[in-house]
Amino acid sequence: MKWVHGYQNRIPLQTKPFDFVILHLDSAWAGCKSPPRNLHLIALFPDRVRRFWLKYAVVTPNQLTAAALVVSYWVGAERVNPGIWITVFLSIIVALNFVNHRLPSKIEFYVSSFKLVVMLGLMILSTVIALGGGPDQEAKGFRYWSHPGAFGAQHHRDHGLLEKFYITCSTMSSATFAYIGSERSGLAHFPNVRKATSRAIQNTFYRIMVFHLLAITLLGMIVPHDSVSVAFSSDASHEAAASAFVAALYLAGISVLPDLLNACILLFVLSIADYDLYLATKAMCDLAVKHRAPAFLSRTTRRGVPIYALAVCSSTATLAYLNVRQDSTVVFGYFVDMVTMLGLLTWISILVTHISFVRARKAQGIPDKALAFRARFGLPGTCLALLLCLFISVAIVFDSFSFDDSGVRTLDVKSFIASYISIPVYISLMVGYKLAVHSKRVDPKEADLWTDKIELDREERDRAEGN
């Protein structure tokens, strides 16, 4: 495999690293026609790759925590310590990553295909339940939007409206977390990178509309926010389900199916945890290959597994053992806040990169029609998205506030630290890198925009001639 960003000559053949490439939004620039031949290749932003690694390194213990929550539907923490389940699950995903460096991606592909089938079935079943077709024969419609309410607020005379505002802002962390990972549509290695990446980016929007927004709407119709059957409810029972869909089936009076769905969700969570560990390992290996991390982290086994990078990322995953001392739902919330901020920082980096790219392209007189793919709303859309990311980054602070029965709000210091600890780490990585390599500002007119255009064209010509 060859690196799309010009590192193929630096990678020993026997290492077999990274079977995917990290493409920026400016990767679409690879479709530009007739590039000047005197321009050089541009490399990845190393500080961004570090943030990529950090995010997926933290996502892994987050998924292990979620797996422990899913298992609690059958076996509560008072019967079996969550640390035992975390040990079992961590051992499984480490073993899968150790066997073969391509195995996690293959597993995730097949599991994701099965996940789509399950999601479609759940949305159809949820619609039937909402219309009164369930065993309880109760047409729920939108009743839960009125009672107990859509915001989950306690209607205090003096604080009701303000509390709704806080709660609305506090949902931004969880809502943003649900969309974290959509940037992986730009992580690909296909025979036709340009076409495949463009198609993946466009399809991501429609998949979000169907599988996220529609599913959330249906759940709001069939599950009240204060149900004791939902693990994240303030009055949750010991056998509460981590998945709202499982709770919905249970509340509708459906037998057997909730257990089957919970088993499927456990499979999905473990598959994602396995793949996240894979991404974190490969990202660390990439940093080592490009001399941005200790060189020994790039060493691999005969099967191409970066064994030392895997060991480091697996050690980071042990953060999931925080579940041993604290409630799993609380720990999961801390990880959600941390991963959300890391995801927002990743997207802020992407958007700033795109703005810089557009400025440089305009400064050098490159027209929009020369691009193989371009953002639908152009530079204004990118600027708006950047402002929204900054707003959400500030609004996440409200997730650290809670109201008691009297309407008095209190600040959860641990949640606040979990939400914003990523920012100083982000700044440290960026500033540390710039100081280490003596990075200087590049004038837009002198910026190198041609990533590996020539090399990519050569590979495509060779492939076409081979066919």
For the ranges 264-268, 383-387, 461-465, the lowest mean pLDDT is seen at 461-465
pLDDT for the residue 17: 28
Which strand (E) or helix (H) includes residue 278? helix 257-289
**Amino acid symbol at 164:** K
Walk me through the domains of the chain, giving residue ranges and CATH numbers.
8-466 (1.20.1740.10)
Burial, 329: exposed, middle or buried (Cβ in 10 Å; 0-12, 13-18, 19+)?
middle
**Packing angle of the helix pair 215-222, 244-251 (nearest 10 deg):** 40
How far is it, in rounded angstroms, from Cα 82 to Cα 69? 8
pLDDT for the residue 278: 92
Catalogue the E-assigned strands of 20-124: 21-22
For the ranges 241-250, 257-266, 366-375, 381-390, the lowest mean pLDDT is seen at 366-375
More confident residue, 308 or 439: 308
Q: What predicted TM-score, i.e. pTM, was given to this entire model?
A: 0.73
* Strongest mean pLDDT among 34-38, 144-148, 348-352: 348-352
Cα of first residue to Cα of last residue in the chain, in angstroms, is: 18
More confident residue, 86 or 143: 86
Q: What is the pLDDT of residues 164-183, one digit of tens each?
A: 777 777 778 878 887 777 66
* Strongest mean pLDDT among 76-90, 218-232, 390-404: 76-90
Q: What is the pLDDT of residues 308-355, one digit of tens each?
A: 999 999 998 998 888 777 777 788 888 888 888 888 988 898 899 889
More confident residue, 456 or 236: 456
pLDDT tier at 307, thresholds 50, 70, 90: very high
Q: Is the pLDDT of residue 405 over 80?
A: no
Q: Is the pLDDT of residue 82 over 70?
A: yes
**Packing angle of the helix pair 244-251, 103-130 (nearest 10 deg):** 30
User: Span 350-379, mean pLDDT?
Assistant: 83
More confident residue, 196 or 222: 222
pLDDT for the residue 193: 58
For the ranges 133-147, 174-188, 237-251, 265-279, the lowest mean pLDDT is seen at 174-188
Q: Give the three-class secondary structure for 188.
A: strand
